[in-house]
């Protein structure tokens, strides 16, 4: 693996090796104190973040490496109109690995075309968030023993929630996972993921009610309604507060259920759930740091490799207004297949 852009691109064996490494780090952190000694990580956060940014920073520091970057693009040349390509070409000359969060879908893929060093996607708009998926799978494997055969409820804003999209891509690599997709009709999963699940023969059912399915679940993954992604504020008002998990609702749940959440939570899990032993969302955040340590050990220690030259685009072929090709007009018109359908290779939207 050179870059981590989409969890779907990570072979199962590579994930198993990363998980094994993350487990070893958790058990014997002192053995890894110098694993990234002398290595430098650049973190470019074009969008707000607490956990992801902090956990990458602490991961690198705990491995003996160092970090620079910005958490607010207004303080960088981006505010002067610099292209993503130029920013990446420049910082990839300073750093050994680049962690990037950007509001445009496909931005990390775009960055990877121009970087001499590995790019890690720390969230590209409402599209993907593969390192959150590493945190999620680490949590499930550590606490449940395995991911195979589980019934997983994904609840909330499945349209805009990138953590859910990445998790669905990842689960295609495991056996007999059943998905209960719990969302209001307005916020159901994007069609390309429906096609993806079909192409990968993944059992799933789309429902609007949370309570009726709770007793069947091994994992309940709650998500926030992603206010910042709504074009129409009234649509947000209609959907906010739609699912609220309380302690009372957990009464009929399995004793072994894991209640997960990528955080930050707004109101979708009441505070009285925090003391239930099934609530593991704060552990999940901590496991994420170890998973990121395992990833950084691999990627920050790679050789620099100048990327191949790519075609210069003239106008976007993708019609998704949130796709990075709409704002970075020089990007090449890359296409990929999802089943039989031609899709944008940056944001996955059907062409």
In the complex, which residues of this chain contact ligand NCD (CB under 6 A)? Answer: 51-52, 123, 129, 132, 162-163, 224, 226, 262-263
Judged by CB, which is closer to ligand NCD: 118, or 288? 288
Helix (H, G, I), strand (E, B) or coil at 182: strand
Judged by CB, which is closer to ligand NCD: 85, or 229? 229
CB of 228 to ligand NCD, least distance (A): 9
Judged by CB, which is closer to ligand NCD: 92, or 268? 268
CB of 187 to ligand NCD, least distance (A): 13
The residue count for the chain: 351
- Please tell me whether the peptide bond between 264 and the residue prior to it is cis, using omega within 30 degrees of 0: yes
Judged by CB, which is closer to ligand NCD: 266, or 329? 266
If one counts every other C-beta atom within 10 angstroms of the C-beta of residue 224, the result is 20
CB of 80 to ligand NCD, least distance (A): 26
CB of 85 to ligand NCD, least distance (A): 24
Judged by CB, which is closer to ligand NCD: 35, or 104? 104
CB of 264 to ligand NCD, least distance (A): 6
Vertex 52 angle, CA 142 and 19, to 5°? 30
CB of 110 to ligand NCD, least distance (A): 19
Q: How far apart are CA 105 and CA 324, in angstroms?
A: 6
CB of 196 to ligand NCD, least distance (A): 19
If one counts every other C-beta atom within 10 angstroms of the C-beta of residue 166, the result is 25
Q: How far apart are CA 112 and CA 89, in angstroms?
A: 10
Judged by CB, which is closer to ligand NCD: 69, or 123? 123
**What Cα–Cα distance (Å) separates residue 28 from each residue in 23, 32, 33, 90, 273?**
9, 8, 10, 36, 31
175, two tokens:
């056996």
Judged by CB, which is closer to ligand NCD: 87, or 284? 284
Q: How far apart are CA 5 and CA 100, in angstroms?
A: 10
Please name the residues in contact with 251: beta carbons below 8 A apart, sequence gap of 6 or more: none
Q: Single out the residue of 185, 161, 183, 347 nearest to residue 264, CA to CA.
A: 161
- Backbone phi, then psi, for 339, in 5-degree steps? 65, -125
CB of 123 to ligand NCD, least distance (A): 5
Contact 166, 129 (CB under 8 A): yes
Question: Exposed/middle/buried for 213, CB within 10 Å: 0-12, 13-18, 19+?
Answer: middle
Measure CA 247 to chain center. 28
Judged by CB, which is closer to ligand NCD: 47, or 96? 47
């Amino acid at each position: 693996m050179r870059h981590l852009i989409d969890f779907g691109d990570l072979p199962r064996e590579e994930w198993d090796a990363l998980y094994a490494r993350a487990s070893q780090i958790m058990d014997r952190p002192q053995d890894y104190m110098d694993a990234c000694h002398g290595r430098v990580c650049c973190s470019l956060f074009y969008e707000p973040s607490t956990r992801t940014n902090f956990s990458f920073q602490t991961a690198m520091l705990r491995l003996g490496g160092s970090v620079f970057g910005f958490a607010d693009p207004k303080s960088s040349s981006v505010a002067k109109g610099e292209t993503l390509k130029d920013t990446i070409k420049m910082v990839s000359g300073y750093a050994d690995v680049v962690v990037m969060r950007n509001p445009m879908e496909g931005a990390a893929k775009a960055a990877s075309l121009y970087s001499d060093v590995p790019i890690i996607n720390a969230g590209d708009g409402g599209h993907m968030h593969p390192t959150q998926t590493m945190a999620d799978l680490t949590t499930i494997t550590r606490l449940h023993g395995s991911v195979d055969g589980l019934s997983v409820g994904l609840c909330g804003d499945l349209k805009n929630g990138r953590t859910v999209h990445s998790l669905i891509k990842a689960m295609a690599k495991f056996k007999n996972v059943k998905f209960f997709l719990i969302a209001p009709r307005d916020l159901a999963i994007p069609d390309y993921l429906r096609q993806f699940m079909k192409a990968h023969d993944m059992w799933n059912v789309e429902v609007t009610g949370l309570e009726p399915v709770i007793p069947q679940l091994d994992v309940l993954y709650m998500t926030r309604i992603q206010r910042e992604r709504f074009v129409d504020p009234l649509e947000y008002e209609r959907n906010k507060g739609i699912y609220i998990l309380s302690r009372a609702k957990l009464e009929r749940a399995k004793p072994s259920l894991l209640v997960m959440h990528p955080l930050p939570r707004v109101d979708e899990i009441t505070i009285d759930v925090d003391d239930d032993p099934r609530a593991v969302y704060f552990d999940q955040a901590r496991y994420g740091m170890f998973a990121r340590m395992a990833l950084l050990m691999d990627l920050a220690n790679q050789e620099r490799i100048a990327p191949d030259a790519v075609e210069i685009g003239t106008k976007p072929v993708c019609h998704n207004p949130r796709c990075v090709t709409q704002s970075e007009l020089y990007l090449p018109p890359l296409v990929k297949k999802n089943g039989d359908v031609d899709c944008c290779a940056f944001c996955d939207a059907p062409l």
